[in-house]
């Protein structure tokens, strides 16, 4: 008979490096590039003027005149990531330049072909994703000083001014606040593999603190992001062309496919952090929520998705705690679950302020004779889900993971 704990001891240990995750920056791309080689100057010139070009409705004309550039001249991973960021923000601007009632349904070949090419190389979809807008879109003003809003800039922007900057940079700081939690998770998995209860207990306590720090950091949204600007300006450029009544059949990528293609918009549901915590803590979501969340994994860099899958196929923390009969471990586990549910409750209050209340206010302000966005669109999130019931279900299912001594 095999001894299961012997098997655990011989399993390879989990490491961040294997999944290209940084010890210092977690899922954030460390030191993202801010410039591309000279060959790509036409892209970078447009990128540097995007807010103005979109607001003055000149972007489409500029993109139509842009030369078709060859992605083979991109040297290495970090240039590809910057190219994906630049081309995908340009795409959002191109599609939504005239607002959500008049989307552009065909992306011209000089933008569509390089976007699809660089997306294939990176294993990402050809649309703006969290790994562009947040993970690749930050740069320190002074690299010697700590990462805080006053010492950070974004690289590529679209309309939304200081609120857009705040929205992106607060999310960057949320990813940074998750770094100790990701490391604690790796420590915990390895502690189970090595049967070290002390190390596991310490890792769970660290994970709880990191989740609480994420919640505190999320609170900075209130200081830097104006809900009316988020709702009326920023949200539109995050919208995708899947489950979106404004673009019911999707977007034609000229030179790539004659059929329209459908992709969801950018959302922090594409951040790897909470997916990793859910898998590690053994949180089980309803089928509908799980279907959406699993689909969002296709919008992550493939190595980050592989990290989530590795945790999923690793040892079960819940089984380990129950079979250990260790009350301290059980308490520490439950505190992580509660902290995660509290984070999700807090996120619901943020979404209520920035989407639900802001939508009601916008409706009240709109003169009757002007057409507004369809009601279906207003009640949906940037990723196209029926927001509040989805988020509450995800929060409630988190709480159901709480373990009882008798389980
Ligand atoms: C103004 C700020 C924010 C708004 C309005 C917002 C809105 C939303 C919406 C509408 C959804 C539903 C899914 C979708 O439609 O895409 C969602 C999901 C989600 N958001 Fe946010 N969000 C905000 C900030 C953040 C931040 C900073 C994070 C942290 C990384 C975050 C993490 C998540 C996660 C993980 C989900 C998936 C559901 C879950 O696992 O609980 N959100 N968000």
Q: Kindly report, residue by residue over 318-370, the tens digit of the pLDDT.
A: 999 999 999 999 999 999 999 999 999 999 999 999 999 988 888 877 665 54
Name the domain count of the chain: 1
To test the pocket of ligand 1, the residue of 26, 241, 351 to mutate (highest count of ligand atoms within 8 Å of its CB) is: 351
Note whether residue 18 is domain-resident.
no
Residue that the structure tokens 């690793």 belong to: 314
Q: Kindly report, residue by residue over 237-261, the tens digit of the pLDDT.
A: 999 999 999 999 999 999 999 999 9
DSSP code string of 321-356 = HHHHT-HHHHHHHHHHHHHHHHHHHHHHHHHIIIII
Q: What atom in ligand 1 is closest to the CA of residue 398?
A: 41
Q: Kindly report, residue by residue over 193-226, the tens digit of the pLDDT.
A: 999 999 999 999 999 999 999 999 999 999 999 9
The conformation of residue 231, written as its DSSP 8-state character, comes to I
Note whether residue 8 is domain-resident.
no
To test the pocket of ligand 1, the residue of 269, 355, 377 to mutate (highest count of ligand atoms within 8 Å of its CB) is: 269
Note whether residue 148 is domain-resident.
yes
How far does the centroid of ligand 1 lie from the alpha carbon of residue 11, in Å? 35
How far does the centroid of ligand 1 lie from the alpha carbon of residue 383, in Å? 9
Q: What CATH number does residue 80 fall under?
A: 1.20.58.480
Note whether residue 301 is domain-resident.
yes
Note whether residue 6 is domain-resident.
no
Ligand 1 surroundings by CB, under 6 angstroms: 167, 171, 174, 218, 221, 225, 230, 267-269, 271, 274, 344, 347, 350-351, 354-355, 381-385, 387, 390-391, 394
Query: What are 374's two structure tokens?
Result: 């369809």
The percent of residues in the chain predicted with pLDDT above 90, rounded, is 88
Tell the burial category of 17 from Cβ atoms under 10 Å away from its Cβ (0-12, 13-18, 19+): exposed
Note whether residue 233 is domain-resident.
yes
Q: Give the predicted TM-score (pTM) of the model.
A: 0.94
Note whether residue 246 is domain-resident.
yes
Range of the domain at 38: 23-399
Residue 261 forms beta bridges with which residues?
A: 251
How far does the centroid of ligand 1 lie from the alpha carbon of residue 323, in Å? 35
> How high is the pLDDT of residue 366?
67
Note whether residue 14 is domain-resident.
no
């Amino acid at each position: 008979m095999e001894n299961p704990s012997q098997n655990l001891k011989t399993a390879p240990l989990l490491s961040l490096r294997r999944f290209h995750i940084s010890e210092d920056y977690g899922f954030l791309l460390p030191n993202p590039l801010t410039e591309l080689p000279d060959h790509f100057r036409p892209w970078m010139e447009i990128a540097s003027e995007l807010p103005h070009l979109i607001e003055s409705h000149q972007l489409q004309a500029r993109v139509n005149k842009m030369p078709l550039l060859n992605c083979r001249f991109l040297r290495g991973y970090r240039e590809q990531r910057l190219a994906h960021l630049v081309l995908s923000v340009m795409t959002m601007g191109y599609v939504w330049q005239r607002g959500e009632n008049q989307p552009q349904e065909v992306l011209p070949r000089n933008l569509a072909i390089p976007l699809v090419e660089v997306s294939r190389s990176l294993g990402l979809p050809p649309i703006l994703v969290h790994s562009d807008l947040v993970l690749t879109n930050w740069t320190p003003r002074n690299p010697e000083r700590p990462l805080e809003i006053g010492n950070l800039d974004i690289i590529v922007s679209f309309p939304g001014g200081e609120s857009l900057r705040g929205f992106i940079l607060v999310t960057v700081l949320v990813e940074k606040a998750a770094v100790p939690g990701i490391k604690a998770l790796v420590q915990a998995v390895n502690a189970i593999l090595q049967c070290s209860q002390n190390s596991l207990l310490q890792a769970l306590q660290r994970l709880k603190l990191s989740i609480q720090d994420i919640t505190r950091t999320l609170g900075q949204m209130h200081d830097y992001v104006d809900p009316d600007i988020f709702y009326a300006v920023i949200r539109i450029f995050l919208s995708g062309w899947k489950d979106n009544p404004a673009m019911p059949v999707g977007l034609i990528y000229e030179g790539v496919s004659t059929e329209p293609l459908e992709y969801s918009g950018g959302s922090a549901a594409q951040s790897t952090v909470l997916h990793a915590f859910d898998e590690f803590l053994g949180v089980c979501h309803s089928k509908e929520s799980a279907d959406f969340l699993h689909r969002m994994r296709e919008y992550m860099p493939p190595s980050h998705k592989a990290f989530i899958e590795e945790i999923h196929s690793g040892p079960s923390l819940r089984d380990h705690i129950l079979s250990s009969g260790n009350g301290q471990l059980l308490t520490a586990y439950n505190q992580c679950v509660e902290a995660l549910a509290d984070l999700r409750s807090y996120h619901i209050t943020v979404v209520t302020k920035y989407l639900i209340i802001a939508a009601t206010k916008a409706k009240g302000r709109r003169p009757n004779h002007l057409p507004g966005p369809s009601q279906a669109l207003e009640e949906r999130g940037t990723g196209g889900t029926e927001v509040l019931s989805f988020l509450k279900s995800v929060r409630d299912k988190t709480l159901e993971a709480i373990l009882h001594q008798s389980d």
